[in-house]
Structure 1
């Protein structure tokens, strides 16, 4: 499930949305009200239940071969989740809304935002089997007892990365207190 030309996607567990109104998310760091969406490249970041914590890493131009082999192994991208989220990934009913890309602008190279009301181009589409989506996209899906050791390796590597809903992850491994990084994302030391 990816956006097509001229579209961005909004993923939701609610298939009844008929209009998207800008709002300030409860966890937002910015004060502006937005409608959030992603393009085809960032769509895999949202092939998860909404509240599922996930750590993701992928090869970029500056990635060293050592980091690629050490963290990703074969392939170009890896997503990691915790064991406790497997059942939710298997059973969630996730939907995607196709939205007109012209209504959005880039937000920090990670997603797209609109500051006005946006109407979907059609009804919500069921995303389907999240494991199959990962397999079809050749994205490794790792299941770990705790995300923090993996996250620590990723954020200190030359890989591109993203962590979503990490506040919902299991507590850090004992002796590894959580701190805020200079970019505001959660990490452990």
Structure 2
């Protein structure tokens, strides 16, 4: 599930949103209200239930072959997403939807940019689309999906490597 040219996506478990209104996200360290969305490359970060903690790593321009082999595994591709076993049922059962939004309403945020935001209300281009089987999406995208007892050892390895990474909802991970 990726956006078409001129679009960005917002993923949600709520299929009834008719208009996205800027707000300050509970998890945001920023005080300004935004509508959040993602472009093509960051969509896989959101192929999960909203509250699911996940640690993700992928090859970047300065990533060493050794780190890819150590973190992702030899012959296992160049991107890996890790979640805890306790979230397996939620990943299998979630009904996730993608809203297509006009990219012209959004600007990149972050350094490097990890999302796009709008400061004005945004109306979806059409009705929300069911995202479908999250495991199948990962497989089709060539992304390894790893199940772990606990994310923290993996997270510390990733953040100490030359790989690019993102951690979402890590506050929900086991301690």
TM (normalized to structure 2)? 0.97
1:120 is matched with 124
Q: Distance in 1 between matches of 2:92 and 2:44?
A: 16
Aligned counterparts, 1:87-126, within 5 A: 87-108=89-110, 109-126=113-130
SS of the aligned residue for 2:101 comes to strand
For 2:66 and 2:40, the matched residues in 1 are separated by: 28
Q: 1:77 aligns with which of 79, 86, 93?
A: 79
The aligned counterpart of 2:139 is 135
TM-score (norm 1): 0.90
Secondary structure of 2:136's match?
A: helix
Structure 2 unaligned segments of length 5 or more: list them: none
Q: Which has the higher contact order (CA 8 A, sep 6+)?
A: 2
The aligned counterpart of 1:152 is: 156
Deviation at 1:32, TM superposition (A): 0.5
Moved over 4 A (4+): none
Displacement, 1:112?
0.2
2:64 aligned partner: 64
Counterpart selection for 2:173 from 157, 160, 169: 169
| Structure 2 CA distance for aligned equivalents of residues 75 and 89 of structure 1 | 22
Aligned length: 171
Q: Displacement of 1:61 after TM fit?
A: 1.1
* Residue in 1 that maps onto 2:3: 3
**Separation (CA, whole Å) in 2 of partners of 1:63 and 1:27:** 29
Distance in 1 (CA, whole Å) between partners of 2:9 and 2:27 is 20
CA distances 1:150-169 after superposition (whole Å, capped 9, x unpaired): 00000000000000000000
Secondary structure of the structure 2 residue equivalent to 1:68: helix
